[in-house]
């Protein structure tokens, strides 16, 4: 009985309610410590703050100013006049401005289609050769044009495209003297000649990127295809192309942006001439804004170009997204 009485007393003590708080004082629950995740988030924002500030000052603020200027007729000095959507209407109705946009889309053939296609074949052939020395030499030679500044490359190619330049001399040596011409002086051939400069520059970048993508493909797939008797093109179509889906998407995205926003190559080689045969929106915006002092129209054309780039790139991003 004594043990039972002692245990019952102990239970009563454990279950006894806590003493009430004195009058005028409320009992507050203990605060849980702040999670560390909040501190980490604040630390991340602090590290990103300088970059975000620079982005806001040098990207977002000029973008907002361009949107504002596009609704005005302004020469940069005298008071601006609000014209509404007149500048945008001018962009889509002026034949000269429309031709510059068309020229930018035409350059996609030379900046994107040709380099990516040739780079795929070159990367596949280098993998088939399986020679480390030859592969490194090819990578170095192909990547050099991408390292050279585009403006310098345009000047060098202008010399080679001259009447007595290397291109015409080479054509004369192989018996094609009838084809020689002043390439940048011929309105029919000036734009393709500019496009070939872009092909020469982008080919090395695409090749290096695709070769790195081939390196991540499981070699057992190629060995199995070889045992099954598959040839180069069958292996290329069934293994290499599907394995390079993301790399091809990166190449296409970067080169299309380079084509639509091209400026330095065209400006340093032809400045949009002869006439307007090589005029592109980047050079047209420069001339409208800094030569003709038509800030509103230049801003409207720049914003239309940005919208076109997004309209082309965003669907491609979904298309090349890995499933």
Radius of gyration of the chain measured on its C-alpha atoms:
32
Q: Is 276 exposed, middle or buried (0-12, 13-18, 19+ CB in 10 A)?
A: middle
What was the pLDDT predicted at 270? 94
What was the pLDDT predicted at 215? 85
What was the pLDDT predicted at 126? 82
What was the pLDDT predicted at 231? 83
Element housing 291 (H / E): none
Would you give the DSSP letter of residue 20?
P
pLDDT along the chain (323 residues), means of 10: 44 48 52 58 85 94 95 93 95 94 96 95 81 70 86 93 93 91 92 95 91 87 86 87 91 95 94 93 95 95 95 90 64
C-alpha 104/C-alpha 132 separation (Å) is 38
Contact 279, 286 (CB under 8 A): no
Number of residues written out for the chain: 323
Decide: helix, strand or coil at residue 72: strand
Nearest Cα neighbor of 119 from 201, 207, 55 is 207
Would you give the DSSP letter of residue 73?
E
C-alpha 197/C-alpha 152 separation (Å) is 11
What was the pLDDT predicted at 145? 86
C-alpha 122/C-alpha 125 separation (Å) is 5
**How many other CB atoms are found less than 10 A from the CB of residue 202?**
25
State the distance between the two ends of the chain, measured CA to CA, in whole angstroms.
76
Contact 213, 124 (CB under 8 A): no
* 74 backbone dihedrals φ, ψ, rounded to 5°: -145, 140
What are the DSSP calls for 80-107, one per residue? Answer: PEE-TTHHHHHHHH-HHHHHHHHHHHHH
Decide: helix, strand or coil at residue 323: coil
């Amino acid at each position: 009985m004594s043990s039972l009485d002692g245990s019952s007393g102990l239970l009563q003590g454990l279950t006894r309610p806590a003493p009430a708080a004195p009058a005028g004082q409320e009992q507050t629950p203990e605060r849980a410590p702040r999670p560390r995740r909040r501190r980490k988030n604040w630390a991340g924002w602090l590290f990103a703050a300088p970059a975000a500030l620079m982005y806001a000052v040098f990207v977002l603020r000029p973008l907002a100013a361009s949107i504002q200027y596009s609704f005005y007729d302004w020469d940069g000095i005298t008071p601006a006049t609000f014209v509404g959507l007149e500048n945008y209407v001018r962009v889509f109705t002026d034949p000269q401005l429309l031709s510059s946009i068309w020229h930018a889309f035409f350059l996609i053939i030379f900046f994107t289609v040709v380099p990516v296609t040739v780079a795929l074949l070159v990367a596949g052939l280098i993998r088939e050769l399986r020679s480390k020395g030859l592969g490194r030499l090819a990578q170095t030679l192909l990547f050099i044009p991408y390292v050279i500044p585009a403006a310098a490359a345009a000047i060098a190619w202008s010399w080679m495209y001259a009447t007595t330049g290397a291109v015409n001399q080479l054509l004369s040596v192989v018996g094609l003297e009838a084809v020689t011409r002043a390439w940048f002086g011929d309105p029919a051939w000036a734009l393709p000649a500019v496009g070939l400069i872009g092909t020469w520059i982008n080919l090395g970048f695409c090749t290096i990127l695709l070769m790195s993508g081939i390196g991540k493909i499981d070699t057992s797939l190629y060995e199995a295809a070889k045992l099954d008797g598959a040839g180069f093109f069958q292996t290329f179509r069934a293994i290499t192309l599907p394995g390079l889906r993301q790399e091809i998407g990166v190449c296409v995205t970067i080169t299309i942006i380079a084509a639509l926003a091209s400026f330095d190559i065209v400006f340093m080689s032809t400045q949009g001439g002869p006439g307007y045969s090589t005029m592109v929106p980047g050079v047209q915006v420069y001339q409208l804004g800094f030569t003709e002092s038509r800030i509103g129209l230049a801003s409207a054309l720049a914003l239309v170009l940005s919208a076109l780039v997004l309209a082309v790139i965003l669907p491609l991003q979904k298309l090349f997204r890995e499933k």
